[in-house]
Each structure stands twice: as C-alpha cells, then as structure tokens.
Amino acid sequence: MLVQRSADILSSEITSESAYLNRRQLMGAAGSLALGAMLSSCAEADSTGKPETSGSSHAGALDYSSAEKQSQSGFYTDEAKTPYKDITAYNNFYEFGTDKSDPRKYADKMVVDPWSITIEGEVSKPGTYTLEDILKPHDLEERIYRLRCVEAWSMVIPWVGLPLSDLIKQFEPTSRAKYVSFETLYRPEEMRGQRSRLSTISWPYTEGLRMDEAMHPLSFLAVGLYGKLMPNQNGAPIRLVIPWKYGFKSIKSIVKIRFTEQLPSTSWNKLAPKEYGFYSNVNPSVDHPRWSQASERRLPSSLLNPRRIKTLPFNGYANQVAGLYKGMDLRRYF
C-alpha cells in the first residue's frame, strides 16, 4: 500500500504511538483482516521525521518529493487539521438521529463486518462483492481535504482510501452510464433514525453524481481517517468524499452503487428540491433559503472563538473542478 502525504505533516499530528497501537488492536478486534492489513501498513515517521514502515512487506516509502505536486492537485491542504475527537463527535448521520452527538452515541449498533456492496445498472461486471474483494486490487492513499457542510460549518480531515475512478474502472461501466448513484445501509433495527416516526427522509438514503464528477481525480472513497479504520459514526466501513460539494453529497456506509443513463433521485433533493439541488457545489454567492453561505464556522469553535472564515467557491477547489461546469448557470443548477 502506498500512502502519500506532504512533508510538513508531522507523525505526531497524524497518529501517536499509543494511538497506533490502539489502532492495531482495533483492527484485530474488527475482524476485517484484509482491510486491517492495508491500513496497518501505513508508513509512520519517527521523531526525526524520517519515514519508517510498520513492518508490512506491502508498505511503500513516503513520497515526500511529490508534496508540492499533491498540494497543487488539491489532494492536500496545509490548513490546520480538525482534531480526531471533533471529527468523530460532531456529525450529521440522520440514520442515528438528528443531534450532532447522536451518531457517536448510537452508531456502535451498526454491524460493519462482514460488508458487501452491490454493483448494478449500466455496467459490464454487475454483482455483489465483499468489501475485501473490492479493495484488494487497489493501493490506499491519504488525502487531506476540506469538508464543508451545507449548515455552514467545516472541518479539515485526513482521509485514507482510494480514488472513486479506480473503483469505477474496476467494474467497467458501459457507454450508457451517464450517472452513478449510491445507497446507504438500511437496517432500522441497528439505525434508530430509520425507525423514527419523526423522520422526514425516505430511507434508504441515496445520493448521486454525474459520471464526469465521479471520475474526477478528487472524488474519493474513504475507508479510514487519521490513519485509523473509519469510525461507524463517520460512515464505516466505506464512504464517499467529494470535497468541492456540500457534505451531504458524501454519502456514508455505502451498500449499493448503480450506474444509470438517467439522472438519479437523491434523498435531500426529493425532500426539499428548492433547498438542496442535485449538484450542491459549494457556492458562497448562492445562499441557502434560511442562511448565508458566504462564510463558515471552522471546527472546533466556541462562542469566544467562533473561527469564522470566508467560504471559497467550490470549497477552494475551483482550480481543479470549475471546468466540469463550464457554461452552466450555477444559480439554476445549484
């Protein structure tokens, strides 16, 4: 497994020695042997900053020489990373409840091993595949992305995973595939929000992308964060990360991927089409009907230190993705 990261990121910022040992124990307890082996082969750095591997024969040397290139590509940002405790404690995952603390409280009920994903629609290799078989052909890598919620708060997260385009190529979509849709796990017995009478979402949760968006180099499937297995509340065992779109587009706990010729329906767009468009690109000049999108609150924050910052078009990834929408009215196609 090759894990790339920029040279200015110290190992103490990513994983301490105690956390690393806990990670190894976690992977053993999870029973996800193939995925655990992939993540455990992440290269670590000692206190001098020199890379050393964890001992796996599959571990690759850290490619520090490509740091500038990776930064320009958008794969990394040198902004301060959001602490692990905040990333895992403040979440929107309505399958477990509407409060930000609900996912951490209740997501441990979700069984993530074994896990399989169904591939269907306009594709040459449909079927249901185990997560291990899906990941086996791929090297995992680290990407440090901004995450911007439609509610105007944001984080900076070091994800571990693979480019979405690599997985798409694996299953060979046909020429009729113009869109790709995703579906979240539906298990009301494990996901209390799905059985709530107060829920307004039609389960299971669905999202979608245009095929050129899905194939863009920034589109990412994450299986971990901060060098650890993905926590349940953050979308274990595999989730989408589309950094230039509002966070609800980055669907969690994926169990189905479908390739379609027609625009797929998506959960929030069905619920409130005037508030949540299909594209949902981060756009500070287009306000949500109930609040401004011109700025955001960077977590962690407080009343005394709100950490309010200016929101950038496409969440700061305009250089990489604006060309996807050339000629489109981004106020109409929001």
**What domains, with CATH codes, occur in the chain?**
71-325 (3.90.420.10)
Query: 248-283 pLDDT, tens per residue?
Result: 999 999 999 999 999 999 999 999 999 999 999 999
Query: 230-257 pLDDT, tens per residue?
Result: 999 999 999 999 999 999 999 999 999 9
pLDDT at 62: 30
CA dist 78 → 61, 83, 148 (Å): 21, 14, 16
Distance CA 237, CA 310 (A): 32
The one-letter amino acid at 45: A
pLDDT at 8: 39
Give yes or no for residue 85 having a pLDDT over 80: yes
Give yes or no for residue 105 having a pLDDT over 50: yes
Calculate the average pLDDT of the chain. 85
3 or 303, higher pLDDT: 303
Q: What is the pTM of this model?
A: 0.84
Query: 23-77 pLDDT, tens per residue?
Result: 334 333 333 445 665 565 443 433 333 333 232 222 232 343 455 666 789 999 9
pLDDT at 61: 29
Give yes or no for residue 6 having a pLDDT over 90: no
Instruction: Take residue 331 and report the two structure tokens written for it.
Output: 């106020």
pLDDT at 72: 83
DSSP-derived letter for residue 131 is H
pLDDT at 118: 98
Distance CA 152, CA 298 (A): 9
**SS3 readout for 196-228:** CCCCCCCCCCEEEEEHHHHCCCCCEEEEEECCE
pLDDT at 36: 61
- What is the average per-residue pLDDT within 168-196? 98
As a residue count, the chain comes to 334
Show the CA angle centred on residue 159, arms to residues 205 and 13, nearest 5°: 140
pLDDT at 35: 60
